Amino acid sequence: MNKQQIGLLAAAAIGFAFLLIISGVLFIVDERHQVIVTQFGKPVGEPITEPGLNFKLPFIQSIQVFEKRFLEWDGDRNQLPTKDKRFIDVDTYARWRITDPLRFFQRLRDLRSAQSRLDDILDGETRNTIARHKLIEVVRNTDRQFAETDDAADQPSELSDGIHFGREQLAAEVLKAAQGRVSDLGIEVLDFQFKRLNYVPEVRREVYARMISERQRIAEEFRSQGAGESARTNGERERELKSISSVAYREAEEIRGRADGKAADIYAKAYNRDPEFYRFLKSMDVLSETLDADTVLLLSTGGELYRYIEKSR
């Protein structure tokens, strides 16, 4: 190996050592992160929160990088009791950020510990808030008034004392309590919401039974209204039928009376014209009304009917 080759290798080694030293001294902080410098595991100086090029001592100092962006917390689904001893499934989520990286590093060290601490704080405050309120206040989103019903007995028993809170107010209550507990951890809880609320099977059966009972009550009310309307319609129909029948009967009797009068007048005229023939017709009418095929008629020789028959021979 000649001197030129040895010089090149030496220059390369010096360059590599220089780059190694420079990489250990310089570091870049971008706009997404914030950094603290530690020396033998202890923080040194103030946190670096602005993006740019920074310096540190090589080999003995290192950097701890933390997120500056909003972070998410997704709570576990828990079964929680309400003030009126009802159990519901509660699923929650929150958004948070690191506001003081130095204190965050001193108290929590990393994101994994922070998530675990948030689990304890947010789940605990959620449980406490749910336990202080009735079921109807937890599941409702606003405190608007219920539509009034005709029967006060059909109103849910939870409404007897009125509704003073809604789900949004309960979420704000949890957020306020959590913010007070994380203020010394170097983090801030920005938002907290109930992702999903659902009844446990026992409460769900009770709710379904109440819904069925309410629908049955409404159905019975409609049936009662229908029966009343049917009775009213049938009454009007019977009344109109009797009115029509009465008018028809009156007209029929008037026609029958006029016909009887005309018949009597005809009979009277016939009697006056031929009394003997009139008596004969009346006798025949009597026979037609009183005799049938099985009747045996015995006539007296002195009777008018016998005399008419004898005259007809």
How far apart (Å, rounded) are the C-alpha atoms in residues 268 and 275? 9
pLDDT the model gives residue 151 = 46
* Confidence band for 55, pLDDT divided at 50, 70 and 90: confident
* Confidence band for 1, pLDDT divided at 50, 70 and 90: low
pLDDT the model gives residue 8 = 63
Quick one: average pLDDT of 10-39? 74
| Residue extents of the structural domains in the chain | 3-67, 71-199, 283-313
Site of tokens 């030496």:
10
pLDDT the model gives residue 284 = 73
How far apart (Å, rounded) are the C-alpha atoms in residues 149 and 217? 12
Quick one: average pLDDT of 196-224? 84
Dump pLDDT digits (tens) for 173-195.
999 999 999 989 999 999 999 98
* Per-residue CA distances from 310 to 284, 303, 304 (Å): 14, 11, 10
Name the 3-class secondary structure at 185.
helix
DSSP classification of residue 145: P
The three state secondary structure string of 243-273 is HHHHHHHHHHHHHHHHHHHHHHHHHHHHHHH
How far apart (Å, rounded) are the C-alpha atoms in residues 157 and 135? 11
Q: At a CB cut-off of 8 Å and minimum separation 6, what does 199 contact?
A: 88, 89, 207
Residue 6 has pLDDT above 80, yes or no: no
* Confidence band for 136, pLDDT divided at 50, 70 and 90: confident
How many Cβ atoms are within 10 Å of 99's Cβ, its own excluded? 16
* Per-residue CA distances from 297 to 83, 178, 294, 300 (Å): 105, 122, 10, 10
How far apart (Å, rounded) are the C-alpha atoms in residues 64 and 56? 12
How far apart (Å, rounded) are the C-alpha atoms in residues 35 and 51? 10
**Which tops the pLDDT comparison, 242 or 10?**
242
Within the chain, residue ranges assigned H as helices are 3-25, 101-107, 111-131, 135-139, 167-182, 201-273, 275-290, 304-312
| Percent of the chain surpassing pLDDT 70 | 79
Residue 291 has pLDDT above 80, yes or no: no
- The string of DSSP letters for 196-253 reads EEEE-HHHHHHHHHHHHHHHHHHHHHHHHHHHHHHHHHHHHHHHHHHHHHHHHHHHHH
* Confidence band for 14, pLDDT divided at 50, 70 and 90: low
* Confidence band for 94, pLDDT divided at 50, 70 and 90: very high
Q: What is the pTM of this model?
A: 0.58
How far apart (Å, rounded) are the C-alpha atoms in residues 288 and 282? 10
Q: At a CB cut-off of 8 Å and minimum separation 6, what does 149 contact?
A: 155
Residue 97 has pLDDT above 50, yes or no: yes
Reported as type and span, the H/E element at residue 52 is: strand 52-55
The pair phi, psi for residue 308, each rounded to 5°, is -65, -40
Q: Looking at the domain 71-199, which fold is it?
A: Tetrahydropterin Synthase; Chain A (3.30.479)
Lowest mean pLDDT among 22-26, 216-220, 229-233, 263-267: 22-26
